[in-house]
Amino acid sequence: MPTAPRLELRGITKQYPAVRANDKVSLRVEPGQIHAVLGENGAGKSTLMKIIYGATAPDAGEVLWNGQPVKVASPAEARALGISMVYQHFSLFDTLTAAENVWLGLDKANTLAEVTERIRQVAAGYGLEVDPLRPVHTLSVGERQRVEIVRALLTKPQLLILDEPTSVLTPQAVQTLFVTLRQLSSEGCSILYISHKLDEIRALCHHCTVLRGGQVTGEVDPTQETNASLSRLMIGAEPPALAHQASHTGAVALQVRGLTLAQQDPFGVSLASVGLEVRAGEIVGVAGVSGNGQKELMAALSGEDRRAPAGSISLFGNDIAHASPRRRRDLGLNFVPEERLGRGAVPTLSLAQNTLLTRTHLVGPGGWLKLSAARALAADLIARFKVKAGGPDAVARSLSGGNLQKFIVGREIDAKPKLLIVCQPTWGVDVGAAAQIRGELLRLRDEGCALLVVSEELDELFEISDRLVVIAGGRVSPSIPTAEATVERIGQWMSGLWDEGVAHAPA
């Protein structure tokens, strides 16, 4: 007898005031199947997953679980059925430890101490490094991702939903995760896998459903497709090829010398004699496993942490070690943090209001806000960077992750910076939007801007960077021209192994 699908959706529809997120979507996931859901930002993927997980109610349509109609009214009911989900935007309490966050999502059959030990076992078994006793607010984005994945695995799900699970993982960690997912699949667990990384989908997934504009536009076997054919299904075209011209470097824009900073919290990373420089007209990429000092280095460079020794950070010859973020912006430094909601944008404010965070020219004498100018700027950014939003008055949290990223990156690019520091520029962004953002970064560089790009996507760094450095354990490696670097070498450096036999490239 044929087995019933693990999950079946029939005619799922969800209408929001400004957009129909899902329009009569039907989908089948078989037991043990790794099923990709592919679509550009705003295509309706996340809404569909929230409906499956009980976080959002559909307006119409039917959900069948193991052949039986069900109404999943809450995530708790979903977990009771055997459905677990890892969100792209994490759902963790900052003031609690990783173990306490995991414990809250489970039934209380086990004590906190037992759950803590179980986390250690699962994390070790799946190669996901997690310290269950660390407060979440001390974790980097990548470390929070691992907590979410371990929390989902502890429920022993029949269906695991992963929304951009590898967006902040290194290539080595991605391969480890794939081993885990294939093992879960072989044990009968079904996996719904949302990713913009076409290579991953082709390497991992058994089936692929493509969404565009809230509707299913195709179902394919991804192993029989190319990146180009998947791109055409997703966005109707292939992403434009990047024009990477030879760099013409100018004066030193950013110089960091002997930057040593003690960690500010027990779980942070101390910076040790960090040295690097970025010249006008070049992109320097910073590779590294999440949690190796990226957060601390970015805080020192952006002005959030002003404890740096005098003279250790210079911007166009000006000592900015103790300068405020506003002073740094006045000198031409703009910054895109890795956390979109909460740092890059205020979730409850409109896009127009969020332009005021870094565009101080929109604040007049006496603190009067130029709201009409802010709305005009937001509208221009929405049009220029193809942001899918309900206009300049749409609140930041109403946008999909990729569309909010386009808006934040666009806001800082539009400021015409002399030095732009960007963390995770295309995290969770679809292939077309990623190509657009990378193209804009290259255009800035060709216009003479200096760029420091921190990314955990090595493919991205190899594509746009002129030189690469690696950060590991709070130390920064020598720089190496990208043309001379290999994935294997950079991967080795991520473990801090660059001291012996390394030809130090000039900074």
- Backbone φ and ψ for 267, nearest 5 degrees, come out as -110, 10
Of the candidates 83, 65, 87, 66, the residue with the CA atom closest to the CA atom of residue 155? 83
Handedness of CA 403, 404, 405, 408 (dihedral sign): positive
Q: Mapping DSSP to helix (H, G, I), strand (E, B) and coil, where does residue 425 land?
A: coil
- Which pLDDT value is given to residue 30? 97
Pairs from 179-187 (Cβ < 8 Å, separation ≥ 24) = 179/127, 180/126, 180/127, 180/128, 180/153, 181/34, 182/34, 184/153, 184/160, 185/32, 185/33, 185/34, 186/32, 187/32
Q: What is the DSSP string of 309-336?
A: PTTSEEETTEE-TT--HHHHHHTTEEEE
Alpha helix (H) residue ranges in 205-331: 227-235, 294-302, 325-330
Alpha-carbon torsion, ordered 499, 501, 505, 507, to 10 deg: 20
pLDDT at 121: 93
Strand order in the sheet with 190-194: 83-86, 159-163, 190-194, 34-38, 207-212, 215-220
- Give the whole-angstrom CA distance, residue 153 versus residue 168: 18
Residue pLDDT tens, the chain, 507 long: 568 999 999 999 999 887 899 999 999 999 999 999 998 877 899 899 999 999 999 999 999 999 999 999 999 899 999 999 988 767 789 899 999 999 987 877 889 999 999 999 988 877 778 899 999 988 877 788 789 889 998 988 999 999 878 765 666 667 778 888 998 899 899 999 998 788 899 999 999 999 988 999 899 999 999 988 988 888 877 777 777 788 889 999 999 999 999 998 887 899 999 999 999 999 999 999 878 999 999 999 999 999 999 999 999 999 999 999 999 999 999 999 988 888 899 999 999 999 999 998 898 888 899 999 999 999 999 999 989 898 999 999 988 778 899 999 999 999 999 999 999 898 777 778 888 899 999 999 999 999 999 998 888 899 999 999 999 999 999 999 999 999 889 988 988 889 744 444 433
The domains of the chain, with CATH numbers, are: 7-235 (3.40.50.300), 248-332+420-507 (3.40.50.300), 341-416 (no CATH)
C-alpha span between 353 and 346 (Å, rounded): 9
Which residues, listed in sequence order, are joined to residue 9 by a DSSP beta bridge?
27, 63
**Rounded distance, CA 162 to CA 208, Å?**
14
Whole-model pTM: value is 0.73
Q: Which amino acid type is present at position 392?
A: P
Nearest to 358 by CA among 405, 414, 285, 437: 414
What pLDDT is attached to residue 289? 82
- Amino acid identity, position 254: L
Question: Cβ(479)–Cβ(469) under 8 Å?
Answer: yes
